[in-house]
Amino acid sequence: MFGFADKLKLVAATLVLGLLAGTAQAERLKDIASVAGVRTNQLVGYGLVVGLSGTGDGGSFTSQTFKNMLAQFGVTLPPGISPQSDNIAAVAIHAELPPFAKPGQTLDITVSSIGDASSLRGGSLLLAPLKGADGNVYAVAQGNLVVGGLGVEGADGSRVTVNVPSVGRIPNGATVERSVPSPFAQGDHLVLNLHNADFTTARRVAERINQLLGPDVAQSLDATSVRVRAPRNADQRVTYLSVLENLEVTPAEEVAKVIINSRTGTIIIGQNVRVSPVAITHGSLTVSIIEDVVVDQPEGFSEGTTVVAPRSGIEVDEDSGHMFTFKPGASLDEIVEAINNVGAAPGDLMAILEALKQSGALKAELVVI
């Protein structure tokens, strides 16, 4: 009989043949799903950046932090004395702890001013702990900042700022001190979570895994999760998951959806959007207000005075409306072409799409963000 390692080799060979015969629409399982429990964790900390050239904040909490730091090194300031320096800035530090990170590995960190420091350029971050959501310290950070922004100020108060000088990065600026326990090697199953919940895609993932590894190996739990039987041995489980994540699955088509960003005027129309037979007319109204000043001069040798009075001119221009029709089941290309032909602006297009949705002619979900 074949051992589990031999079965994995056979599965891997079958997978290669499947990849060669895959369709263009298929996507790798690693691109559409993730393994439950294999995730990043957010770390945050507070510290001091020193060595600034007069661009620090010198705030009260910065002074208090600096005073506490000096006390840890045996330097005691007289009562009532609070150190004030523009060469120091209080900062917030944040980083992402990747899955399976081990003590001794390094992380990139971002350092941001939390006071009124004008620039962190040239500063150095002093040793600061980074904590997780549970309050435990998982890394310590320290190093010289790399700041992409630049701020220059003249003696008369004029100032030029390029990018954001109050935020910097420290590559490999934190060292991991504690690893996060992972449920990856526990139990007899792995759970794959889809990035976009869809019942059809979940069913296809389970079917594709069962087609390769045998019946009842994978089960769809809901529109997001697929549970897969997995070996207990850690090495075998890694090889097993390596095979699974390279499987190609054809995701289901997305729900017909129109997304409108009311702030930027961006409009995204999905490929499955359809429109019922409808006729639309939309006119544009332009209102122009011109402010002017009228000066009334008195006649010569009169006792009158010069009078300055404002005058407002208002013009209203209403263009003739354009009408266009949609045939039954009009596609995305036909919708865009018809709207472009009338020269509709983004605001006009938003109004048209909202009216289509209210009338029931737009066969799609309308999302306004």
CATH number of the CATH domain containing 229: 3.90.1150
Residue 308 confidence (pLDDT) above 70:
no
> Does 50 lie in the same domain as 170?
yes
Residue 227 lies in a domain: yes
Top pLDDT among 268 and 106 is at: 106
- What's this model's pTM, rounded to 2 decimal places? 0.67
Which helix (H) or strand (E) segment is 259 a member of? strand 257-260
In the numeric block, which tokens belong to residue 175? 């060292």
Residue 365 has pLDDT above 70, yes or no: yes
In a domain, 299, yes or no: no
Same domain, 245 and 167: no
Q: Quick one: 217 and 279 in the same domain? A: no
Pairing, β 362-363 against β 322-326: unpaired
Give 23's pLDDT tier (boundaries 50, 70, 90): very low
Residue 156, number of CB atoms within 10 A of its CB: 6
User: Structurally, how many domains does the chain consist of?
Assistant: 3
From 126, 148, 176, give the residue that closes a domain. 176
Distances (CA, A) of 258 to 32, 201, 238, 358, 366: 22, 21, 40, 14, 5
Asked whether residue 310 is assigned to any structural domain, the reply reads no
**Residue 161 pLDDT grade (very low, low, confident, very high; cuts 50, 70, 90):** low
Q: In whole angstroms, what is the distance from residue 355 CA to residue 360 CA? A: 9
Supply the pLDDT for residue 262: 74
Lowest average pLDDT, out of 50-59, 112-121, 293-302, goes to: 293-302
- Pair 66, 171 in one domain: yes
Domain boundaries, position 50: 46-176
pLDDT band at 46 (very low <50, low <70, confident <90, very high): very high
Which burial class, exposed, middle or buried, applies to 275 when counting CB atoms under 10 A from its CB (0-12, 13-18, 19+)?
Answer: buried
In the structure, what pLDDT confidence band is assigned to residue 287 with cuts at 50, 70 and 90?
A: very low
Q: Which of 176, 210, 232 is the last residue of a domain?
A: 176
Q: What is the band of 331 on the pLDDT scale with cuts at 50, 70, 90?
A: low
Average pLDDT over residues 300-322: 59
Give the separation between CA 3 and CA 5, rounded to whole angstroms. Answer: 5
pLDDT at 205: 94
Least confident piece of the model among 131-145, 298-312, 315-329, 331-345: 315-329
311 found inside a domain: no
Q: Are 187 and 173 in contact (CB under 8 A)?
A: no
Is residue 219 located within the same domain as residue 108? no
pLDDT band at 327 (very low <50, low <70, confident <90, very high): low
